[in-house]
Amino acid sequence: MDETLDAIIVGGGMVGAAVAAALGQAGLRVAVVEGGPPPAAIPIEAPFDLRVSSLNLASQRLLEEVGAWDHIPEARRCPFRHIEASDAADKRHIRFSAEALELPDFGHFVENRVIRQALWRRLEEIPEVTTLCHARPVAWLPGGHHSLMELDDGRMLAARLVVGADGAGSQTRELAGIATRDEEYGQRALIINVRTRLPQQDVSWQRFTPAGPQAMLPLPGHHASLVWYDGAEATLAREALDDEALRLAIEHDFPARLGGVEAVLGRASFPIRRRHAERYVRSRLALVGDAAHVIHPLAGQGLNLGLQDAEALSRRVIAAFHAGRDPGGYPVLAGYARERRPQTLAMIAAMETFHRVFTGAAPLRHAGAAGLALAERLEGAKRVVMRHALGV
Ligand SMILES: Cc1cc2nc3c(=O)[nH]c(=O)nc-3n(C[C@H](O)[C@H](O)[C@H](O)COP(=O)(O)OP(=O)(O)OC[C@H]3O[C@@H](n4cnc5c(N)ncnc54)[C@H](O)[C@@H]3O)c2cc1C
């Protein structure tokens, strides 16, 4: 690749691939530098993977616009029309219904690997996009008209813009000398795929207990993804249980509305932390997705925020490109940061409040339970919360 590219995207995860598809289909010449292999094909009957995300309507719209949505088989996406939150006793509920907002649904639950594979299939259709797998950047040199990036296989790339989409441990962020603010919550999330006695539901619910939330994300058929938050020690002990012991623990601890679990199909746990880059852009470089921000996953908004970054950055870069302006110029990137940072900060603040109120000090926990009953009555407030969750 001798000529100067329009953009190098470091990281071909869901967010990086979305940026690459948006820029590539608008005519920009793009290289995706991915540290791992390309995604493998997923047979339609393959068991459900553990990593599942809720895609809100804004994310769905972006995936439609970049031509990836149709590559997600219907059999592997699960729409949901209701969101419920309840207190520890599972008595007081807040219920959000898509119908009340005159929407067909709130979004879909889809496995991360299915979303990523759909995006990569789309990248293959776009001649302007080149993918370089098993490659990582080792040096970045910004310049007046373009910046240079050296890869660990010795290749040197030149581009007007570098997009860091290489996840929470972003090397691009490090090469650009951008620091982060980090916080450990001291909690882990245990993700458990189960076969349920009840068939697929169109509701996703979350129950707040003093130890942390428990959530049910519906999957197609008699399947669900359960998320069980707790202290690190308790979670690791639970993760080590055999399938039958874990099944019994779920039936004992999860609310009765789960309706019984026939089998545990898989489990894995993740530490819960927050990480926020002190800046999103430098000259000729922008961060998107988890490279820019990692938030508490309790409201399932991490990927949605990342895809909104992808939309905002590509919209601004494409507009500059079509207007004959420098698509990697600082004014374009600064506009992106000004648009996205306040949105992320607002989401971080909301997650903090949820975390503190529901799993924090005892008096606040009681306030949380009372707050649920209160919020149920605040129709107007519910709408505002929902608009945020929808990203519209
Ligand atoms: C327990 C849990 C549950 C979650 N649930 C939800 C949910 O329901 N909804 C939701 O919206 N979000 C959820 N999230 C968050 C969501 O998973 C992330 O926000 C999302 O995966 C971030 O995507 P990304 O593309 O930015 O980064 P990643 O998915 O981390 O992708 C980064 C890519 O970059 C590549 N890479 C890494 N380093 C390099 C390098 N040096 N050079 C080249 N390539 C590199 C990687 O191989 C990978 O392909 C959850 C997170 C957790 C921990």
Q: What is the pLDDT of residues 12-53, one digit of tens each?
A: 999 999 999 999 999 999 999 999 999 999 998 899 999 999
Q: Is 165 in the pocket of ligand 1 (CB under 6 A)?
A: yes
Q: Is 28 in the pocket of ligand 1 (CB under 6 A)?
A: no
Q: Is 14 in the pocket of ligand 1 (CB under 6 A)?
A: yes
Q: How far is the CA of 90 from the centre of ligand 1 (A)?
A: 31
For the chain, the domains span 5-73+112-182+274-354, 75-110+185-272+363-379
CATH T-level assignment (fold) for domain 5-73+112-182+274-354: FAD/NAD(P)-binding domain (3.50.50)
As a whole number, mean pLDDT of residues 180-199 equals 93
How far apart are the C-alpha atoms of 222 and 186, rounded to whole Å?
33
Contact status, residue 5 vs residue 161, Cβ threshold 8 Å: no
Local confidence band at 92 (pLDDT 50, 70, 90 cut-offs): low
- % of the chain at pLDDT higher than 90: 70
Q: Is 24 in the pocket of ligand 1 (CB under 6 A)?
A: no
As a whole number, mean pLDDT of residues 357-370 equals 52
Q: Is 304 in the pocket of ligand 1 (CB under 6 A)?
A: yes
Local confidence band at 96 (pLDDT 50, 70, 90 cut-offs): confident
Question: Which residue has the CA at smallest separation from atom 3 of ligand 1?
Answer: 297
Of 145, 211, 154, 181, the closest CA to residue 358 belongs to 211
Q: Which pLDDT does position 351 carry in this prediction?
A: 77
Q: Is 300 in the pocket of ligand 1 (CB under 6 A)?
A: yes
Contact status, residue 158 vs residue 146, Cβ threshold 8 Å: yes
- % of the chain at pLDDT higher than 70: 90
Q: Which pLDDT does position 385 carry in this prediction?
A: 54
List the Cα angle 208/214/217 in 5-degree steps. 125
Q: Which pLDDT does position 85 carry in this prediction?
A: 81
Q: Which pLDDT does position 378 carry in this prediction?
A: 42
Mean pLDDT, the chain, as a whole number?
89
For residue 166, give the ligand 1 atom closest to its CA. Answer: 34
Lowest mean pLDDT among 6-20, 100-114, 154-168: 100-114
Q: Which pLDDT does position 152 carry in this prediction?
A: 97
For residue 288, give the ligand 1 atom closest to its CA. Answer: 26
As a whole number, mean pLDDT of residues 106-113 equals 93
What residue type is 20 in one-letter code?
Answer: A
Q: Which pLDDT does position 380 carry in this prediction?
A: 47
214 Cα distance to chain centroid: 19
Candidates 15, 111, 269, 301: which one to mutate for ligand 1, based on the most atoms within 8 Å of Cβ?
A: 15
Q: How far is the CA of 57 from the centre of ligand 1 (A)?
A: 19
Candidates 9, 112, 166, 267: which one to mutate for ligand 1, based on the most atoms within 8 Å of Cβ?
A: 166
Q: Is 13 in the pocket of ligand 1 (CB under 6 A)?
A: yes
Q: Is 87 in the pocket of ligand 1 (CB under 6 A)?
A: no
Q: Is 15 in the pocket of ligand 1 (CB under 6 A)?
A: yes
Contact status, residue 211 vs residue 187, Cβ threshold 8 Å: no
How far apart are the C-alpha atoms of 110 and 307, rounded to whole Å?
14
Q: Each residue of 286-342: pLDDT tens digit? A: 999 999 999 988 878 899 999 999 999 999 999 999 999 999 999 999 999 999 999
Q: Which pLDDT does position 312 carry in this prediction?
A: 98
Count CB-CB contacts under 10 A for residue 363.
Answer: 8
Q: Which pLDDT does position 360 carry in this prediction?
A: 56
Q: Is 16 in the pocket of ligand 1 (CB under 6 A)?
A: yes
CATH architecture of 75-110+185-272+363-379: 2-Layer Sandwich (3.30)
Backbone angles phi, psi at 92, to 5 degrees: -95, 125
- What ranges make up the beta strands (E) of the chain? 5-10, 30-34, 52-56, 77-80, 82-86, 93-97, 107-111, 129-133, 137-141, 147-151, 156-164, 180-196, 203-209, 212-219, 223-231, 261-277, 281-282, 285-287, 293-294
Q: Which pLDDT does position 153 carry in this prediction?
A: 93
Q: Is 7 in the pocket of ligand 1 (CB under 6 A)?
A: no
Q: Which pLDDT does position 361 carry in this prediction?
A: 46
Q: Each residue of 315-325: pLDDT tens digit? A: 999 999 999 99
Q: What residue has token string 């791992």?
A: 36
Q: Alpha carbon of 212 to those of 34, 359, 367: distances in Å?
A: 35, 5, 15
